[in-house]
């Protein structure tokens, strides 16, 4: 048999890792639903022209076509072979299309969550994959969307990550900025190339302040004084109203700047009351500000900042538009696969067992296997995950079979009366399949921080 060559960038967890991923996803879904977000799912493919509208380069999009695509098609026939299709690289583009197609049936503001795989043709490395799972939330309005949703969304995400700490997820820091602050400031000091300046400031952590200063002057038309003012703005961070005072102390004034500062202060002060220390205004955050129109969010794991952002998002004033109606939105996305990969690679979390089974029913001999199967069926009817030993080996071997999988209990059937053994401590007691049940903590696999 030929040796199988692995494909990099397409993670396949072992059962223990999948249990961790499942626990994370269930917590994410439950928290989203607690806040009124309804789950949806969209197709995996979109027309290439739609995928590329967000500015993604063609080399990052996987194209989809049928291997035996026909060369011709009858006029008017809707044949996917003759449409340029690609796998979606995020969940925003398909969601925008979903909103437009269903606008007449949705109730606005519409709060949705979506957990699906996405595909991106970039070079795999730690935390970056070609196929990965994202979990998104968005709030979309019809024509208008109140600012308070820009406060709600990061607070929902903060709650998600607070709940995930039970599984060993480190604390997070959600850094926030506002397009109106950046744009209002740059325009007030006389800079016209707002998007160019934003892209340059976004490189601050990568290339350092000296090269940023040079780039602002050489490529973005800034004078030395203007370039320094941009760096001074980017140095400001905080969790209260003092950030506005520090920005205004730089001397710039405009209505847009004032509006952005009021929104930013409202956000961080609300967060400071709800989740102290988690949400921080950081004016060097520029990623996404070239297409977001209000708040922007970036989330990192404390102590694992080198992994990069594990959750990001922001406000779009035109998430979707059909030419006559506009649907503004605000949302955030969690890179679930990136998060789980760090939990597993750093051994921060473990599953209590590799299988869902809580009880293994032993088989005395093959002639009485039907009795063991009947016991297992009785336990399953009562909601207890149960398996039957694969062979009528010596009981010691059947116990080792259970132990290797982390199954906590082995059931021994007997005409004289059944017994069940906790193989972790050796305790063995009489049991009835109609009444016995394991402790609640053992019913299903659990995920907990590594000790």
CA 183 – CA 253 distance, rounded (Å): 11
Closest CA to 125 of 9, 237, 206: 9
Burial (CB count within 10 angstroms: exposed 0-12, middle 13-18, buried 19+), residue 188: middle
Cis peptide before 411 (omega within 30 of 0): no
CA 69 – CA 81 distance, rounded (Å): 6
Closest CA to 177 of 67, 294, 255: 294
Burial (CB count within 10 angstroms: exposed 0-12, middle 13-18, buried 19+), residue 415: exposed
DSSP helix, strand, coil percent of the chain (3-state; round to 5)? 40, 20, 40
Binding-site annotation, residues:
90-92, 120, 134, 138, 287, 291-292
Token pair in block for residue 198: 């934003």
Closest CA to 259 of 315, 319, 201: 315
Closest CA to 363 of 352, 353, 375, 354: 375
Binding-site annotation, residues for L-histidine:
90-92, 120, 134, 138, 287, 291-292
Token pair in block for residue 204: 């601050």
pLDDT at position 263 is 98
Domain boundaries 359-449, corresponding CATH code: 3.40.50.800
Quote the crossing angle between the two packed helices 179-188 and 224-234, to the nearest 10°: 160
pLDDT in tens, the chain (451 residues): 567 778 899 999 999 999 999 999 999 999 999 999 999 999 999 998 888 876 556 678 999 888 876 655 554 555 555 578 999 999 999 999 999 999 999 999 999 999 999 999 988 888 889 999 999 999 999 999 999 999 999 999 999 999 999 999 999 999 999 999 999 999 999 999 999 999 999 999 899 999 999 999 999 999 999 999 999 999 999 999 999 999 999 999 999 999 999 999 999 999 999 999 999 999 999 888 888 999 999 999 999 999 999 999 999 998 889 889 999 999 999 999 999 999 999 999 999 999 999 999 999 999 999 999 999 999 999 999 999 999 999 999 999 999 999 999 999 999 999 999 999 999 999 999 999 999 999 999 999 999 7
Q: Which residues contact 202 (CB under 8 A, 6 or more apart)?
A: 286, 287, 289
CA 274 – CA 295 distance, rounded (Å): 18
pLDDT at position 435 is 97
pLDDT at position 75 is 46
Closest CA to 113 of 55, 157, 174, 54: 157
Determine if residue 390 is left, alpha or beta; phi over 0 gives left, psi from -120 to 50 gives alpha, anything else beta: alpha
Where are the chain's structural domains? 15-63+80-350, 359-449
Q: Which residues contact 276 (CB under 8 A, 6 or more apart)?
A: 239
Token pair in block for residue 40: 């949806």
How far from 353 is each of 21, 157, 350, 409, 422, CA to CA, in Å? 14, 29, 9, 12, 14
* Class of the CATH domain delimited by 15-63+80-350: alpha beta
């Amino acid at each position: 048999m030929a040796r199988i060559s692995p494909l990099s960038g397409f993670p396949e967890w072992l059962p223990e890792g999948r249990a961790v991923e499942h626990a994370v996803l269930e917590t994410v879904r439950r928290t989203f639903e607690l806040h009124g977000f309804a789950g949806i799912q969209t197709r995996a493919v979109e027309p290439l022209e739609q995928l590329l509208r967000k500015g993604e380069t063609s080399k990052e999009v996987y194209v989809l076509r049928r291997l035996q695509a026909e060369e011709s098609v009858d006029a008017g026939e809707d044949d996917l072979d003759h449409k340029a299709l690609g796998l979606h690289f995020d969940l925003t583009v398909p969601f925008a299309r979903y909103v437009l197609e269903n606008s007449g049936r949705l109730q606005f503001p519409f709060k949705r969550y979506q957990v699906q795989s996405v595909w991106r043709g970039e070079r795999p490395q730690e935390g970056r994959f070609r196929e990965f799972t994202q979990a998104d939330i968005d709030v979309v309005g019809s024509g208008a969307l109140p600012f308070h949703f820009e406060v709600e969304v990061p607070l929902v995400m903060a709650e998600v990550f607070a709940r995930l700490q039970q599984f060993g997820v480190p604390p997070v820091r959600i850094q926030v900025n506002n397009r109106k602050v950046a744009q209002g400031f740059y325009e007030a000091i006389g800079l016209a190339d707002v998007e160019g300046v934003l892209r340059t400031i976004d490189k601050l952590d990568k290339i350092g302040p000296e090269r940023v200063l040079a780039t602002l002057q050489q490529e973005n038309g800034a004078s030395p004084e203007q370039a320094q003012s941009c760096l001074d703005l980017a140095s400001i961070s905080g969790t209260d109203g003092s950030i506005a005072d520090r920005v205004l102390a730089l001397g710039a004034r405009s209505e847009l700047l004032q509006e952005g500062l009021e929104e930013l202060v409202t956000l961080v002060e609300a967060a400071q009351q709800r989740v102290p220390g988690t949400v921080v205004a950081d004016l060097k955050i520029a990623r996404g500000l070239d297409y977001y129109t209000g708040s922007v969010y970036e989330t990192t794991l404390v102590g694992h900042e080198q992994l990069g952002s594990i959750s990001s998002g922001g406000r779009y004033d035109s998430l979707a538009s059909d030419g006559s109606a506009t649907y503004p939105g605000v949302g955030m996305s969690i890179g679930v696969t990136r998060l789980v990969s760090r939990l597993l690679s750093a051994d921060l979390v473990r599953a209590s067992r590799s299988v869902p089974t809580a009880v293994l029913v032993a088989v005395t001999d093959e002639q009485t296997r039907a009795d063991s199967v009947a016991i297992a069926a009785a336990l399953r009817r009562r909601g207890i995950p149960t398996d039957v030993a694969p062979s009528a080996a010596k009981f010691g071997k059947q116990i080792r079979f259970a132990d290797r999988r982390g199954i906590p209990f082995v059931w021994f059937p007997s005409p004289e009366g059944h017994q069940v053994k906790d193989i972790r401590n050796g305790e063995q007691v009489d049991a009835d399949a109609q009444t016995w049940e394991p402790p609640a903590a053992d019913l299903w696999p659990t995920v907990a921080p590594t000790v």
